[in-house]
Amino acid sequence: MLKIILKQLKVIGVLPVLFFLACNSATDPGKVATPAAKPGQGTYTAVQSVTLSCDTEGAAIYYTIDKTTPTSSSTLYASPISIAKTTTLKAIAIKSGMDDSDVMTAVYTIGPPGKVATPAASPDSGIYELAQNVTLSCDTEGAAIYYTIDGKTPTSSSTLYASPITIDQKITLKAIAIKSGMDDSDVMTAVYTIGKIIATPAASPDSGIYELAQNVTLSCDTEGAAIYYTIDGKTPTSSSTLYASPITIDQKITLKAIAVKSGMNNSDVMTAVYTIGPPGKVATPAASPDPGIYELAQEVTLSCDTEGAEIYYTIDGKTPTSSSSPYTDPINIDQRITIKAIAVKSGMTNSDVMTAKYTIGKIIDLHTKWPFMTGAAAPSEAFNTSNGQYALLKHFNVLVAENEMKPQSIMPASKPTTLPGTYNWTNADKLVDYAKANNTEVRGHVLVWHNQTTPWFFNGSGKDGRATKDELYERMESHIKTVFEKYKGDVLWWDVCNEVVGDDGAIRPASSSKYTAIMEDSGLTGIDRYEFVLKAFEWARQYANENEGTDVKLYLTDYSIETSGAKQNEFARLIDYLIANNAPIDGVGFQCHIQYSWPEVSQISSAIEKFAAKQRSDGKKLMTQVTELDMSLFAYDDKSKTLSDSVRNTRLTTQATRYRQLFDMFKQKYEAGKLDMVLVWGIDDGHSWLNNWQVDGLRTDYPLLFDRNYAPKDAYWELVK
């Protein structure tokens, strides 16, 4: 029908659109009536049985309770819907040949019975000269009010309120309102003082800072009242010192006084604090807006509560003096800056220094800023979305399991009857699954390591209960094979062996590494004791290739090879041995657990140059990676557990600068084709292993890019600058 009219209107040239809009707002005969719900939406304390109906005969009603818009594919309404919790019910009515109805939405809030409103007293608490008739009332209809006047908490056994309560003396009135089926109200407390009150005494001169001693006079406006006072901070009573003549105050004192007159209520206590002495100190300046991170530039205003004081400030980190820039107009801040300010007034001591740190910048994913792969070690807990570390994972495009792929974490806890036994991949898989879903790569750490490997792996029929070399090799091969069969090409880089070199420029001693011990048991000596490293690389290459991992890159990693010296020399000797024996090694990983003060960036640069120059017999040069970077704020031999604020802040600034210098150097190496990945060992300071290193118990260290609250540190801001 509407269509026909419109057609005709088009023919006769009337504005059809306007007409259509007008028509459509009236009830549309071609449209199904909107369904109705009974009871309607509202707040209920019990389960509701909701009936849906529709005025259009023969229409079918469909509904949803998940906030989605209902369609003819939603649930068909047949019988009352039971709503037991807070629910949004949406319904549509449909009849063929007609337009679908509008969608009805009804929100049901089902909750515990409410709480009775707190009773109110009228007149309110206060001091009244004459007796008062106090009325109690409660906004919850039907609630009964019970009260006490003895200070006790009222209950339903207290006096039931029926008519106004006459109060003619000092009384504390407490009342509660109660209604069955609801929670009792909060307790109302009103204190009434009836009778004449004496005026509070006044002191002259008033509280304040005075250079010289003061004679303080006390007075009271109520004639005939006696004043009693204390100067020891105690509340005065009529047993305190009676005021007779001016009190001489020549040091910092808190003076308290009351006025007393018989037949009247005592006055309130007056308190006056006098500071006598050398000129006071100017108030510390304040900055507005508050220090913090802002996306856009800010105009920072400085102010000082001491009238007439002048403010001087610096933005270069230096302590301000009266020779620094005088503050006149708001300071425009458009980068990361620390404002330090003092306030100065002649005849007074300079204020304390205010420090306000502003960061103007946008948090961007760290890895987008650097050309090399930028990664972090993550514990399996980080992959739980409710963990604070989770939101930070996006800063990295490569992740390594902090512990979860170490031999001990995946291999059977006790010796299996047949190798390899049952491996536990649960925690390691969390990382791999996250990486796959989030366009992130995985680095594998570690296949062969003297540490964090189950003891049975090294036990057997050899000397002193150790495994023989054959037993060990069988287990190493089995382990390496098992890991590659599991992760195939999903883990693109593996630390094949870690920390096989000792600290003093020889192989890690047998006392510290079972690998070395077993090599020595087998009669190997000198450089040949590194045979297990060679074997590990050969097996890793073989099983990578056999399991879709021809692209997988194999690394030898260690600590303290970033600086020249005996350990680095021995590491180089090992690399030469591996190359001479055609080990399929692709690169060297510098752990880089460094400190704020050590080593020089140039040392690390030289180390990268040294190992990137190593060439395999097939002509391929070794790649380098930084695999476990962190920067302690404690020097290596420092055993203290905490740092003072000022030391920490200075070192945090140094740390930020050093992180940036390092990354800039890494970028140069990347551009020269000598380095392709940098990983930090952990996400936030609170979870760094360094909090539990070098000291007995825990210490508070700050080695990473995010702080204990998961907020970016200066080091992060330097890296994204």
Residues making contact with ligand GLA (CB under 6 A): 445, 498, 559, 591, 628, 689
Pairing of strands 337-344, 310-314: antiparallel
Total Cβ atoms within 10 A of residue 403:
15
Q: How far is the CB of 376 from ligand GLA (least distance, A)?
A: 13
C-alpha dist (Å) from residue 503 to 388, 607, 625, 635: 36, 16, 21, 18
Nearer to ligand GLA, 155 or 451 (CB): 451
Element (H, E) at 467: none
Q: How far is the CB of 449 from ligand GLA (least distance, A)?
A: 7
Q: How far is the CB of 299 from ligand GLA (least distance, A)?
A: 45
295, 360 Cβ separation under 8 angstroms: yes
Strand partners, 51: 38
Q: How far is the CB of 603 from ligand GLA (least distance, A)?
A: 18
Please tell me the number of Cα atoms within 13 Å of 614 on its side-chain side.
24
Q: How far is the CB of 335 from ligand GLA (least distance, A)?
A: 35
Nearer to ligand GLA, 445 or 469 (CB): 445
Active site residue 402: no
Pairing of strands 132-137, 120-122: antiparallel
194, 161 Cβ separation under 8 angstroms: no
Nearer to ligand GLA, 240 or 498 (CB): 498
Q: How far is the CB of 186 from ligand GLA (least distance, A)?
A: 52
Nearer to ligand GLA, 335 or 692 (CB): 692
Nearer to ligand GLA, 477 or 628 (CB): 628
Nearer to ligand GLA, 283 or 405 (CB): 405
Mark 97-107 as b/e (b = at least 16 C-beta within 10 Å): ebebbebbebe
**What residue type is 154 in one-letter code?**
P
- Terminal CA-CA length for the chain: 68
Active site residue 548: no
Region of residue 150 (phi > 0: left; psi between -120 and 50: alpha; otherwise: beta): alpha
453, 407 Cβ separation under 8 angstroms: yes
φ, ψ at 449 (rounded to 5°)? -155, 140
Nearer to ligand GLA, 530 or 559 (CB): 559
Q: How far is the CB of 305 from ligand GLA (least distance, A)?
A: 49
Q: Which two tokens stand for residue 117?
A: 């409103």
CA distance 591 to 106: 61
DSSP secondary structure letters along 220-274: -SSTT-EEEEESSSPPP-TTSEEP-SPEEE-S-EEEEEEEE-TTSBPPPPEEEEE
Of 441, 570, 628, 718, the active-site residue reads 628
Cβ-closest position to ligand GLA: 689
Of 499, 538, 570, 718, the active-site residue reads 499
φ, ψ at 394 (rounded to 5°)? -65, -15
Nearer to ligand GLA, 562 or 718 (CB): 562
Q: How far is the CB of 556 from ligand GLA (least distance, A)?
A: 12
498, 443 Cβ separation under 8 angstroms: no
423, 413 Cβ separation under 8 angstroms: no
Q: How far is the CB of 453 from ligand GLA (least distance, A)?
A: 12
Look up residue 394 and give its DSSP letter. G
Total number of residues shown for the chain = 721
**Strand, helix or coil at 155?**
coil
Strand partners, 532: none
Nearer to ligand GLA, 243 or 559 (CB): 559
Active site residues: 499, 628
